[in-house]
């Protein structure tokens, strides 16, 4: 069964983010899926645990994102940034007054969800880069579903992750 294998990641996740990713098995599938992303036709849904409770409990964040500095990993909302749109809605609230939100990045900027939620005053809980770091804890951000068009059949497909103990115990 030899031969070479080329890893063609279509979607990606930030470090410490879990969930669904899409990988193409060949160059033609990758090209077709890439065009779908460029058109904004792929839908990604995330669950994010944020500090506090966003008001309104459902909304859109339209804020341009740019690198903080050329040599920095950190991103910021800034006028000269690239247009970025995120939709969110509160799913539940925990006993500490923090929210579990469903978040949909409409554009696909680096750290977009983390930057946008921090921008509206509700960074991801335990986010070391955009919120408050708590020693030994990491933020909770999971891509829970990905909807896309199959690159050859044209069928609309949705891939989801199952709920597990980690996601349930966090809320």
102-155 tens-digit pLDDT: 999 999 899 999 999 999 999 999 999 999 888 888 899 999 999 999 999 999
Classify burial at 84, counting beta carbons within 10 Å of its beta carbon; exposed 0-12, middle 13-18, buried 19 or more.
buried
Residue-wise pLDDT for 63-117, tens only, equals 999 999 999 999 999 999 999 999 999 999 999 999 999 999 999 899 999 999 9
CA distance 20 to 7: 16
Q: Which residues are catalytic?
A: 14
So what's the architecture of 42-146+159-169 in CATH? 2-Layer Sandwich (3.30)
Within 8 A by CB and 6+ apart from 124, the residues are 48, 49, 50, 51, 113, 114, 117, 118, 130, 131, 139, 140, 141
């Amino acid at each position: 069964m030899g031969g070479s294998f080329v890893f063609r990641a279509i979607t990606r996740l930030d470090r410490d983010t879990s969930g669904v990713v899409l990988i193409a098995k060949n160059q033609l599938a990758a090209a077709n899926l890439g065009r779908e992303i460029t058109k904004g036709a792929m839908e990604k849904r995330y669950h994010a645990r944020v500090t506090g409770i966003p008001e309104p409990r459902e909304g859109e964040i339209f804020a341009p994102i740019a690198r903080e500095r050329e040599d920095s990993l950190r991103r910021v909302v800034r006028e000269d940034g690239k247009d970025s749109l995120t939709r969110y809605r509160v799913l539940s609230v925990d006993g500490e007054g923090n929210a579990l939100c469903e978040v949909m990045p409409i554009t696909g900027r680096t750290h977009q969800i983390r930057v946008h939620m921090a921008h509206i005053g509700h960074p991801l809980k335990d986010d070391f880069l955009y919120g408050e770091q708590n020693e030994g804890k990491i933020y909770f951000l999971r891509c829970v579903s990905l909807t896309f068009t199959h690159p050859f059949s044209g069928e609309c497909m949705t891939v989801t992750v199952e709920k597990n103990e980690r996601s349930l115990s966090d809320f």
